[in-house]
Amino acid sequence: MIIPHHHVETPFDFTAEEWADLGHMLGEAKNRLAEFNPDGFTVGWNIGAAGGQHIFHAHMQVICRFADEPSAGQGLRDFLRTTT
Residue 2 in any domain: the answer is: no
pLDDT score at 53? 93
Residue 79's SS3 state is helix
Q: Which domain holds residue 26?
A: 11-83
Residue 3 in any domain: the answer is: no
3-state helix, strand, coil in the chain (%, to 5): 40, 15, 45
Per the structure, the count of domains in the chain is 1
Residue 45 in any domain: the answer is: yes
- Between CA 27 and CA 44 the distance in angstroms is 14
- Between CA 64 and CA 41 the distance in angstroms is 5
Tens-digit pLDDT profile for residues 20-37:
999 999 999 999 999 999
Instruction: Yes or no: say if 35 and 79 are a contact pair by the CB < 8 Å rule.
Output: no
How many C-beta atoms surround the C-beta of residue 40 within 10 A? 11
Least confident interval from 17-26, 53-62, 74-83? 74-83
CATH number, domain with residue 37: 3.30.428.10
Residue 6 in any domain: the answer is: no
Say if pTM beats, i.e. exceeds, 0.85. no
